[in-house]
Structure 1
């Protein structure tokens, strides 16, 4: 017959078990630094800030560069939304939802299957980037292109057909054009679709632990909404990271775009129509003379016949000229340009 423990022995076993579970006291952590350290109680002493670092997820992109990337793709979202609105003849809102860095395996694991997964290439960049568009917004766009209203639209859980892929290719092409315009301030790139896949698990453009930058967008069209993700591996844009600092990017974009905008405004203004009228002379008559006026009456002005006439452009006196004839039509030859200050 086995031994039976009494209550005192049971209590002793429980006490020893609870004592073994208690955390062992740790010694004081030593921090080696060149700066003065302290507990904060001594004036002038600085307490070092200790932050955790995950070696499995290194942050290879600085915060300034992440802000520059977000600002750059906010401009892309505005241009892409305007382009889609004109193409679909309805209001489409595109805005940046997230901008973060993660591993490629984490990005792939968060995508639905099936989806529209596009591999994008650009001349001058080594490697490819990914553009994923959610089916929740793809099929409403296809329905809109085919004349539907997408009110009671069912979202099928299947890969897209060849016809649907061709239709979405028009949308993707406009997105890549807007993306090229957004990146023009950093480097002139021409993006194009290399291939399209419905299952993102079958595509591996970089190793699973490689750091990628993921910019998430939110698309809204009428009563439908969906997401779009742009995945940029770090090794693809690493040569351009120095140009992505906030100050250099903004200054480069400003200097490059200012000349183009000035030329575009100049071309638009040269095509604008202006009203031109020629004043032969001026005089003053009474209301009685105006009421009694009939065909054959002669109005005399206060302007001499040899004096040049005034040419007015949009209500402003700009030139002086002489009355004549050209190819059977009345004409005015400009004889003098009125300098500023003499327009009145």
Structure 2
């Protein structure tokens, strides 16, 4: 794992914004302790992800900051290395490599034939509910950008460059008409304009059932 990802995780765990993670140094003992706790939880998630196909036990044996010092396998052993590009928070790119011993793959490759690829055990409803809650809790901590779009229109470039402070631009949408609410640039709801506690506000009118409905609504209501 690249150090940028490690420092980003540490900064976020400690309540930081995840900035300034391009540090050219080794981890401190405290930072190693934080990463250990994080990867112990990741190891448990890896074990859970395999449970419907294969009984495995995933544990964290330790953290090594210098890959050249690892003594897990002999130089002659066959391994499969999976390299992945990781993006965190839409502002950080890093790499993550997973090394899988060939002996492990020899033991499980037959289980992933078209016939054996079907789950050999029913999911545990209680465990599935716990995983669903964990995912939901993590998602609920995400920040969303919400936009309330009153109207959209086109303007010629020569008119645009002549605009000055104080100019009035008339719109074609009535004040009591529905406006479009977008979440992370995705149409999500219609709403009415209003006020509350001496501040502009919107009152949700209708939650769009899917993205296609919202996109179609936006196109129909956009004036040109």
Q: Tell me the TM-score normalised to structure 2 length.
A: 0.50
Quick one: which of 16, 36, 60 aligns to 1:169?
A: 36
Deviation, structure 1 residue 264: 6.4
Higher normalized contact order (CA 8 Å, seq sep 6+, divided by chain length) = 1
Quick one: which of 63, 74, 98 aligns to 1:230?
A: 98
Other structure's SS at 1:197 match: coil
Deviation, structure 1 residue 209: 3.6
Change (3 A) 1:161 1:234: same
Other structure's SS at 2:108 match: helix
Q: Which whole-Å CA distance do the structure 2 matches of 1:179 and 1:155 have between them? A: 28
Query: Structure 1: which 5+ runs fail to align?
Result: 1-132, 266-344
| Equivalent residue, structure 1, for 2:47 | 180
Quick one: which of 138, 141, 154 aligns to 2:9?
A: 141
Change (3 A) 1:150 1:246: same
Deviation, structure 1 residue 247: 3.2
Change (3 A) 1:180 1:154: closer
User: 1:34-62, CA deviations, whole angstroms, 9 ceiling, x for partnerless residues?
Assistant: xxxxxxxxxxxxxxxxxxxxxxxxxxxxx
| Equivalent residue, structure 1, for 2:121 | 256
Other structure's SS at 2:106 match: helix
User: 1:105-152, CA deviations, whole angstroms, 9 ceiling, x for partnerless residues?
Assistant: xxxxxxxxxxxxxxxxxxxxxxxxxxxx2111111111112222123x
Aligned: 1:210 with 2:210: no
Q: Tell me the TM-score normalised to structure 1 length.
A: 0.34
Deviation, structure 1 residue 172: 0.8
Deviation, structure 1 residue 228: 1.5
Report the RMSD for the aligned CA atoms in angstroms. Answer: 2.4
Q: Which has the larger radius of gyration?
A: 1
Deviation, structure 1 residue 213: 1.4
Change (3 A) 1:164 1:246: farther
**8 A Cα contact 2:82 2:98, kept in partner:** yes
Moved over 6 A (4+): 262-265
Deviation, structure 1 residue 199: 0.9
Aligned pair count reads 128
